[in-house]
Amino acid sequence: MYTVRVSVIPHHQWQLDQFSIIQVHAYHPVSLEPIALPQAHLHQLHRYHDIGELLLESHPAAARSLFQLCYFTSRVWCNDLHTIEYQSCVGECLRVLQLLSDAKVWLWDAYNTMSVILDPVNDTLRNCMLSLGMISIVTQELPQARALLERVALLDELDEGPHALVTLETLLHVATVYRFEGKYNLALETVQMVVDTLVNIRWEPDWCELLCWTALGTLYVNIGDTTLGYIFLEKAFLWRLEHNGPSSNQTWGVFTKWFWLVMYANYWTHEKAKFISWSKQIPRDMEDWPGKNCVVCYDPILGSAYSKVDDPQYTYLYCKKCVDMEGNTNCFVACPSIRDCAKQND
Ligand SMILES: [Zn+2]
């Protein structure tokens, strides 16, 4: 067994197979801002980068430290295409950590540099555009999100083919933009196209179907078809619970949508037993609305989710802080948090 250790936080240790200890040096123990390593370490950067990629989903803060270390070192000693790749990776970690303003600064800077020097577009620029597109969805910069994601989808289609998993996944992100824009028919057509392709190619069916279940479930809820929405979201949640497990944020991200639908569509009396048994598995340190941000401040929503309209949609939910700040008396609780509801029914 080997250990990856970020030495500025001595009690944080990440157990990983195959890797030896990495010391991430910092300017200052409080800022956690890594400094550039001496030139002798240059040959190690690719390895640190690979470890960072492995850590990105499970430990984004550790991955960020590694990528920043790579970035500063590379910038001092090489300042080449790898430097921009590391910069882009730092931006992606910040996005995963929901530090969206910082993520935008890192990603736009990398994007602007790359779009000048890169022709044709490489994977790093493509991933950078994808991250920026996904941030733009959260920050409601929808024309920008659409431009970026449609371009990524087109590039995927040209490079990987129209049936490639990566192309289909990007198309689902494009459908999400359409949903936020209120173009529900266009969104449904796009998702349906992905579903049809998946049915025809029969490739990695489980995982592919899962992506569509979540997209379809949310869309059907938004167009008022709660029966179909319920079927898809429940399937998606059970799949996540089985394959990603109860410690994954993605599992509870889908569960949150399922729970919101149950409350919104008055399925509570039928589904209470399911809720009680599932909600017991929620980890203590999980956010109230995993993966869901307030439409005004873009922060993760804490506690209940609020709405300003009678017919609230999962796409547009507010946090209490923003409701209070606007002094809006018409706002009401669209849905209590899973945690509050679980406490009441314990
Ligand atoms: Zn807010």
Q: Where are the domains of the chain?
A: 1-119
> Confidence class of residue 13 from pLDDT cuts 50, 70 and 90?
very low
Q: pLDDT digit string (tens) for 223-239?
A: 888 898 899 899 999 98
CA 305 – ligand 1 centroid, Å = 10
CA 301 – ligand 1 centroid, Å = 7
Burial 76-91 (b: 16+ CB within 10 A, else e): ebeeeebbbbbbbbbb
CA distance 208 to 216: 12
CA 295 – ligand 1 centroid, Å = 6
Say what the pLDDT of residue 31 is: 52
Question: Over 70: is that where the pLDDT of 316 sits?
Answer: yes
Strand partners, 318: 306
CA 263 – ligand 1 centroid, Å = 21
Q: What is the DSSP letter of 38?
A: P
Say what the pLDDT of residue 169 is: 86
CA 319 – ligand 1 centroid, Å = 4
CA 246 – ligand 1 centroid, Å = 27
Q: pLDDT digit string (tens) for 169-197?
A: 899 899 999 999 989 999 989 988 888 88
CA 227 – ligand 1 centroid, Å = 30
CA 251 – ligand 1 centroid, Å = 23
Question: Over 70: is that where the pLDDT of 205 sits?
Answer: no
Question: Over 70: is that where the pLDDT of 30 sits?
Answer: no
Question: Over 50: is that where the pLDDT of 259 sits?
Answer: yes
Question: Over 70: is that where the pLDDT of 332 sits?
Answer: yes
> Confidence class of residue 123 from pLDDT cuts 50, 70 and 90?
confident
> Confidence class of residue 2 from pLDDT cuts 50, 70 and 90?
very low
CA 98 – ligand 1 centroid, Å = 13
Q: Which of 17, 78, 68 is nearest to 43 (CA)?
A: 78
Say what the pLDDT of residue 344 is: 84
Say what the pLDDT of residue 1 is: 26
CA 303 – ligand 1 centroid, Å = 12
Question: Over 80: is that where the pLDDT of 14 sits?
Answer: no
Instruction: Catalogue the E-assigned strands of the chain.
Output: 2-5, 13-16, 305-307, 332-335
Q: What is the mean pLDDT of the chain?
A: 83
Helices then strands, counting H and E runs in the chain, come out as: 14, 4
Say what the pLDDT of residue 19 is: 46
Interface pTM, i.e. ipTM:
0.99
